Amino acid sequence: MMDVMKRTNGQRQLVFTPRADVVETAEGVIVTLEMPGVRAEDLDIHFDRGELTVQGKCSPANPVKGNWLVREYEVGDFYRAFQVSQDIDGSAIRAELKNGLLTLHLPKSEGAKPRRISVQSK
């Protein structure tokens, strides 16, 4: 994960970028993001004109006081944006959070799905 600067209300804010996999299938696009320690109520997901944004906050799982020897889990605000086809049916997007992974299913609109065209001979 890398830290990025995001503008919020005209001010720059340091946020981290969760790792992601994006796969296109004949039926749509599947986006999977690593979200260890994130709760569903801490997520804010939007799709508008071909841009998918995922943002929120990750709180420490074990807020322990002391000197950290290794700390690899990111905590704090996160933000990730993807440009995907505008042929996505925004009203049918589904999101599920399970075992630290957020999976977003973005189905293609019927007109954008591949189809076989039959040829007529005369």
What mean pLDDT is predicted for residues 94-116?
87
Q: Please count the residues of the chain.
A: 122
CA triplet 114, 115, 117: central angle to 5 degrees?
A: 140
pLDDT in tens, 36-86: 888 999 999 999 988 999 999 887 666 678 887 887 776 778 899 999 877
Query: Model-level pTM?
Result: 0.75
Residue 5 pLDDT more than 70?
no
**Among 3.90.550.10, 1.10.10.10, 2.60.40.790, 2.60.120.260, what is the CATH number of 2-61+71-111?**
2.60.40.790
pLDDT in tens, 32-45: 999 888 899 999 99
